[in-house]
Structures are given as C-alpha cells and as structure tokens.
C-alpha cells in the first residue's frame, strides 16, 4: 500500500486523505485523517439515491444560486427571429429578455432551446442559441423591465434550473457544471 511505502521510507505525513465528499462516508477512516469535501461544499450529494450510504449525506442542501439582470428587452412580432442565424422564430407576439450569461460564463450551448430560468417564481425558456456572453429568454406576455433580476441557477432541486437539471440537459455531471462557472463571475457569499 502507498501509505506503508511512504512511512517505510521515513516520511510521516501529518495529513493523509483519500476522500472526497462521497469517500467521507464510504471509505475506511483508519487510514486517513483528512477529507476534501469538494461538491459537498456546494451542498450536493454525489452518491446515487440507491447507494447504501446515501442517507449519511442527505442533509446536504444546494447552496449556490446564480442570478443576473435583464440587460435588454426586445418586443418580437409573430414571425420575427432572434439569436444566431435567426434560429428562434416567434410563433406569436412575445417579449424577449436578453441576459448577460453565455457559454463563456458556464451556460453550455447544449442548453440552447432546452434550459429555463426563473423570474418571479415562474419558469421561462431559453430560446435560440446561447451566445458567448448572452442568452435570450422568451417571457411571452409577462411584463418585464430592464434590470429585473432573473435566476439562472436555483438552489431548489425540483426547479428546472437546478444544477442537476441543467447538467442533465447539457449531458454532463453536476461537478462539471459547477467548475465551469467562470472566475470572472462576481461572487457574493451570504
């Protein structure tokens, strides 16, 4: 075993860790004295719900929310287009809100025409292709204003814009979605 080889060569590490969040409840603690929580710090249980140790981490609650503000309001008439190559065509008169979040920030292009955001506790669809720094939301006839706040990532696991839902739509895992949030994104710790 690696630990034995290290100690047999005269090294006595103060901290030994083999555990991430899942390992903190799964592995043998006789060998280690430290853990690296990783995804657990965000409040996500990495174990599948049918895992025998899942319940030991069920108290974790998602802790990351991602909010932004509407930076442009566009009124579209039926038949008008928006986004790259006019990929979205309005089926009826509608209101589009432009959000300053795109694939540079973390919002995967696979979420185009798939994802939803939350505004005043209602879900609204992303329409058209997600751009580098922007995406478009179809608010329909809901009145919106410039600089209204919109929730991109919800802390509520049952919402369509939770990390797990967004990750599934992007055909990836929650770990990848979380680590893709660009370092330039302003953080507010509460």
Residues 74, 39 share a domain: no
What is the CATH classification number for the domain harbouring 122?
2.40.37.10
CA distance to 44, 153, 172, 178, per residue, from 64 (Å): 10, 7, 18, 9
Residues 166, 102 share a domain: yes
Q: What is the pLDDT of residues 81-113, one digit of tens each?
A: 998 888 899 999 999 999 999 999 999 999 999
- Whole-prediction pTM: 0.85
State the residue range of the domain holding 103.
66-179
Residues 121, 91 share a domain: yes
pLDDT for 127 equals 97
Assigned domain for 158 exists: yes
pLDDT for 58 equals 87
CA distance to 73, 78, 142, per residue, from 136 (Å): 10, 16, 15
Residues 112, 172 share a domain: yes
* Percentage, residues of the chain above pLDDT 70: 100
Give the SS3 label for residue 23.
helix
Residues 99, 37 share a domain: no
């Amino acid at each position: 075993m690696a630990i034995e080889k290290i100690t047999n060569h005269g090294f006595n590490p103060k901290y030994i860790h083999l555990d991430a969040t899942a390992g903190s409840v799964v592995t043998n603690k006789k060998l280690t004295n430290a853990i690296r929580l990783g995804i657990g710090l965000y409040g996500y249980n990495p174990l599948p719900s049918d895992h025998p140790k899942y319940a030991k981490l069920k108290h974790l609650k998602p802790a990351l929310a991602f909010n932004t503000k509407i930076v442009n309001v566009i009124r579209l008439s039926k038949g008008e287009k928006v986004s790259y190559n006019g990929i979205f065509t309005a089926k009826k008169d509608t209101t589009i809100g432009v959000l300053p979040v795109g694939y540079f920030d973390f919002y995967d292009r696979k979420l185009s025409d798939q994802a939803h955001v939350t505004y005043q506790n209602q879900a609204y669809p992303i329409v058209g292709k997600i751009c580098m720094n922007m995406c478009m939301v179809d608010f329909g006839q809901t009145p919106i204003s410039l600089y209204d706040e919109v929730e991109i990532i919800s802390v509520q696991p049952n919402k369509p814009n939770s990390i797990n839902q967004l990750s599934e739509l992007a055909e990836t895992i929650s770990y990848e979605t979380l680590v893709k949030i660009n370092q330039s994104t302003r953080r507010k710790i509460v």
